Every structure is written in C-alpha cells, then in structure tokens.
Amino acid sequence: MPARGKPEKYDSLDNVDDAFFLFNKMIHKYPMPSVVEFNQLLGAIVRMKRYAIVVSMCQIDCGFSVLGKMLKLGVEPTVVTFSTLINGLCNQSQISHAVSLFDEMIGQGYRPNLIVYSTILNGLCKTGNTYRAVRFLRMMEERGFEPNIVAYSTVIDCLCKNGLLNEALDLFSEVKVKGIRPNTVSYNCLIHAMCNLGQQKETTRLLNEMVDNNISCDIVTYNVLIDAHCKEGMISEAIEILDTMRKHGIEPNVITYNICIDACCKEGMLAEAKDIVDTMIKQGIEPDVVTYSVLVDGHCLQNQMDKAKSVFQLMIEKGCAPDIHSCNIMINGYCKDACFWAGSKSSDMFDFVGWFMQKW
C-alpha cells in the first residue's frame, strides 16, 4: 500500500486559487488524505475571510461540493467540518441554510459542540431572528450546553436592539441567578437601550451595580452616556462625563468627540465645536468624514454657506474623502440659503452640483 503523502502546509495559504488547486490535488490522492487535512483546508479559506468560497465548496442542500465530495469519497466529516461550514454560512447571512446544515448534522448523529451552538446563535441574532435566538438558547440549555456570558450577552443585545428591553432585563436577571458574572458588554447593551428610552434612573442604577461588582466601564459605556446627555441638550454634563472618563484612564476616541461636536453644532455652539476639534487634534486624533460633515451641517444650519464651503474644502485638502451624506448636506444648505434664491450664490450651488455629478 503506498505511503500517505506528506501533509500540505495550510497555514501559509493566502490565495484562493492555490486552495482550489490543493483541493483538486487532495481528492485525487491515493490513499485519500485524512479528514483533518480537509478541515485544515476549509479553515485556511475561512482565515482568508473568503466565506463564500467555503460555502461554494460544499454540496448538501445548498449546492455544496467539498462536503459532498468528501462523503462520496468515503471521507467521514467531523464536527469541525460542519462547524467551519456553518460559520461560513452565518458570515454570509445565510442563516436558514446554516440552521438546515445544523439539523442535518444532528440527523446524521453528530453531537454539536459549544462553538457550533454559539455560531448559530450569533447568526440568528445578527439577522434579527430574535425569538428564534431565544428558543435556540433554551435548546442549548436543555441539551446540557450551558451558554457562557458571551452567548447570553449576544441575545440580550438582540432583544435590546429590537425594543424588547423588559425581556432583556429578565434574561439578565436569570444570568445573575445562575451565578454567571455579567461583563461590560452585557451592561452596555442594557445601558444603551435604557438611554434610548430616556430611563436615566435605571441607567444610573446599572452603573452603580457595575461599580459595586468591580466591572469597569469602557469607551462604549462612556460614549453611550455622553450621547444620551447630548441628545437631551445637556452638553455641559456630557463634557463632564468626558473629563471623568479621562480621569479613569480611558481616552476619548473619534466617536466620542464627534458626538460632542455634533451636539454643539445642533445647538449653534460653533465656537465650542471648533474648540473640541482642536482638542482632538492635539490628542493625536484626526477628524474623519463624520467630524467634517457635522461641522458643515452646523454652518449650514446657521446659513453660513461660505464657512460650510471652507470646511468642505478643508476636508478634501486633508485627504478625507466626502461621502454622499456630506455632499447632500451641502446641497441642502445651498437650497435653504436665502442668498442662493436671491441669485448671488447660485453659481456656487451649480458649481458644487457639477462637481458632485462628476464624482458620483
């Protein structure tokens, strides 16, 4: 019997064509490579983030080919094989196919591991299948797979994003009763939902609970709180929170600054907005397209089209490409500008529209 060939090295694979070449080479080998090698090949393609390729290389109900070929050649797939394919399907938002493959896996007598369950659960949540996700979570528990805090947080976040805060709070309480320690992410999901509903007292209660349990706030927590205060017009309080986070060793990011800049611009506090921009630049954080867009919008709201135009041009000079949103802000500003309708600014408007049409 011929000796088994030397296993290929899949860690160095970075080209899909090479992966296909290896696959064809493998299926013509004698004796057949082990299932471990097939799994390694699929895993290598996943690491390239070419999930569609992994999916296209299978053949059950969804038009797969690797799995079908493996079965035809007598190579028995493992849980890892199914896990890789389910992961690829979920990353392509083909959750129905992923669940079908999961059911097929169980039907063939395979016992899914926690990774497979978590992958399906995450896929259901990402695609907004909230109630299916909750049922799947319960099924995990019934089958003896105790979900970890990551799995629970995923479902809590999904419930919150779909306006089911009470259900999210019930699940959160259940987690604590089971002795599972909540993490920053699970608290952030609830705090964000409460802030959106204006439940400031409940938000404060959760923040105090985090402190009591030695769970640190992160940049997401602070950004949510700052955004909530800004939306309520409490800009000075938002700036105080920004100062507090810095005292706790958490540096604001571009999102933090953009929230504050946007709030100032909406309140007509353009000088204060400019000061915040100067501060972020001193901190080594470059303004992004959102920063420039809110500044442009701030000037447009004050009918300062010359200044809006200057900021827009500065954005381009700094190498920050305008997007469709920032361009729409400018066009909207020109249309609302009284000087434009008086005729003195009409050339600026048409020049901008001409530039816009060429770009898009």
Residue 331, pLDDT > 70, answer: yes
Residue 58, pLDDT > 90, answer: no
User: Strand pairing partners for 58?
Assistant: 65
Residue 69, pLDDT > 70, answer: no
Residue 72, pLDDT > 70, answer: no
Q: What is the mean pLDDT of residues 103-126?
A: 89
pLDDT of 7 reads: 45
pLDDT of 350 reads: 57
pLDDT digits (tens, 9 = 90+) for 251-268: 999 999 999 999 999 999
Which one, of 197, 247, 211, 236, lies nearest residue 224 by Cα?
197
pLDDT of 70 reads: 60
Least confident of 8-22, 66-80, 312-326: 8-22
Q: How large a percentage of the chain has pLDDT more than 90?
A: 47
> Are the C-beta atoms of 134 and 164 separated by less than 8 Å?
no
pLDDT digits (tens, 9 = 90+) for 133-182: 999 999 989 988 889 999 999 999 999 999 999 999 999 999 999 999 99
Domains present along the chain, CATH in parentheses: 12-93 (no CATH), 113-216 (1.25.40.10), 217-286 (no CATH), 288-360 (no CATH)
Model confidence band, residue 281 (pLDDT cutoffs 50, 70, 90) = very high
The set of residues, in sequence order, having a beta carbon less than 8 Å from that of 40 and lying 6+ positions away, is: 8, 10
Mean pLDDT of the chain: 82
Q: What is the mean pLDDT of residues 296-301?
A: 95
Model confidence band, residue 201 (pLDDT cutoffs 50, 70, 90) = confident
Q: What is the mean pLDDT of residues 198-221?
A: 91
Residue 48, pLDDT > 80, answer: no
- CB atoms inside a 10 Å sphere around CB 213: 11
pLDDT of 218 reads: 94
Rounded Cα distance between 169 and 189, Å, is 10
**In a 3-state reduction of DSSP, which class is residue 94?**
coil
Rounded Cα distance between 331 and 305, Å, is 10
pLDDT of 3 reads: 38
pLDDT of 183 reads: 94
pLDDT of 144 reads: 85
Model confidence band, residue 336 (pLDDT cutoffs 50, 70, 90) = confident
Q: What is the mean pLDDT of residues 12-16?
A: 57
Q: Phi and psi dihedrals of 328, rounded to 5? A: -65, -35
